[in-house]
Amino acid sequence: ARGLDLMQLGGRVEFHAGLDVERAKFAAAAWSALAVGAVTAAAGPIGFVGLVGPHLARLLVGPGHARITFTAAEKFFHAAGATHGTLYFKMLDDAAFYAANSLVSDRFLLTTGFNLHFTKPLRSGKVIAEGKWISGKRRVFIAEAHLMDEEGDEIGRGTGTFMRSHIALSGLDGYRPAD
């Protein structure tokens, strides 16, 4: 735990404190993989998403950013032959949530509002949802997200407001306090 605390300080603090950074990163990844595997085996994919989603987003695109890729198929179409708006909302909300949640590690965030704009119909294919934290660090967070189709055209965008709840992550199924 000391090594992880030192690495969060940034810069070269961990090096100057005598920490073998590469060894600490490998150990953290190995223990995390074992823990996630155990939780996923016990609780299913919800535990995996809850444990890994925020941390994976933080590692891949940095704090305050999130990127989700999915494939839209005909089974998500409404009667007019395009993807139903609930899929737009779900992916925009998730991307904005993970961007905000990448800055929080102790409390559950709740979506308190979300403004959504449809800019182009989506038929099917690969879709990328990218979220970005805009403001807030204590109780209320604001994040935006946009959806792009496989041609790179924007198909939707939205802005969400997320509130830090009183629910500790350590008290929820699939979460465990850091040692």
List, as one string, the DSSP characters of 33-80.
Answer: HHHHHHHHHHH-HHHHHHHHHHHHHHHHH-TTEEEEEEEE-GGGB-TT
Q: Sorting pLDDT into bands at 50, 70 and 90, what band is 145? A: very high
Distance between CA atoms of residues 151 and 149, nearest Å? 5
Q: What is the pLDDT of residue 10?
A: 59
- Indicate whether 34 pLDDT > 60: yes
User: Is 177 within 8 Å of 1 (Cβ atoms)?
Assistant: no
- Indicate whether 63 pLDDT > 80: no
Distance between CA atoms of residues 96 and 150, nearest Å? 20
> How much is the pTM?
0.62
- Indicate whether 163 pLDDT > 80: yes
- Indicate whether 1 pLDDT > 90: no
Q: Sorting pLDDT into bands at 50, 70 and 90, what band is 15? A: low
Q: What is the pLDDT of residue 16?
A: 65
